[in-house]
Structure 1
């Protein structure tokens, strides 16, 4: 991949994430880390998509990188990791695949030529499955590092459940 194209995509990923962060009204001190995390995660995704031709794997790796960086940034900037992670992965959302899925569903719901139907159905299902798996990769990539790096295990968390006592008549 050309270095200028990589730098340009790096900048656009960061700007898009900062735009969503401003829309979500995050603190100003979090904008620079959000820019950097989105730029690094999106660029990693693009590099892996170019080299492996697997958009789901590239998205998963980019989202995992954002997930781990958000934990580090949360400690530095004293904000929850989700403040950093969610705006940073929004530019990775598969808008094009979702658009083609919906366009195919709309065409399939109308009158379609019998010769066209099979290819249109195949393309629609393909785009829909890519959309689904990319969204799953984003959600797993963001939440898995946060679950892995939790300080308390579930066994150490005390949950008090009130016990209802029944009154028996003797």
Structure 2
């Protein structure tokens, strides 16, 4: 299946979002005080993860699946980046995934909760309650998809990457005596 953008404007919009997602990842990396040598890799991971999310949405996937795909890509790439830059994978993964957090859904949910406290007619109340629950569940499931997507690759490959580690235990000294 080929990905087709209908005109040049869609490509420019996609590229612009790609760049801004990378800069947002760098902003969060600076906020979390990551080493300077990791910033460009964080930019790249944030941009690529966001691009995967945008492409999944463009291909007709839902927002939850798109967030999962972006986070999964960031999770796998952060493992390689960790070996390349000699830093823990979460140094790259967490700042790169934060720009994908569903702020709009959480904001609309909170506004809905506030509006539900007003005196409104029952029909409006039911519709508002439905929208509020829908926004809250979207925010919740997107957050779950992001956390699972970014941590699953690290958990799945943990055994391989820590294979050569030998940790001396205190019990070894007791057994030899």
What's the TM-score once normalised by structure 1's chain length? 0.88
Runs of 4+ deviating beyond 4 Å: 156-161
Q: Which residue of 2 aligns with 1:59?
A: 67
How many residues in Structure 1 have an aligned counterpart in Structure 2?
Answer: 159
Q: Deviations over 1:36-60 (max 9, x none)?
A: 0000000110111122240000000
Q: CA RMSD in A?
A: 2.0
Structure 1 gaps of 5+ residues are 162-170
Correspondence for 1:21 among 14, 29, 44? 29
Shift of 1:160: 8.2
Shift of 1:110: 2.2
1:132 aligns with 2:140: yes
Alpha carbons of structure 1 residues 137 and 157: separation in structure 2 relative to 1, 3 Å: farther
Q: Equivalent residue of 1:66, what SS?
A: helix
Residues 142-153 of structure 1: pairs in structure 2 closer than 5 A: 142-151=150-159
Structure 2 gaps of 5+ residues are 172-177
Q: Which residue of 2 aligns with 1:6?
A: 14
Q: Deviations over 1:89-116 (max 9, x none)?
A: 0000000000000000111122222120
What's the TM-score once normalised by structure 2's chain length? 0.84
1:70 aligns with 2:78: yes
Q: For 1:126 and 1:160, how far apart are their aligned partners in 2?
A: 53
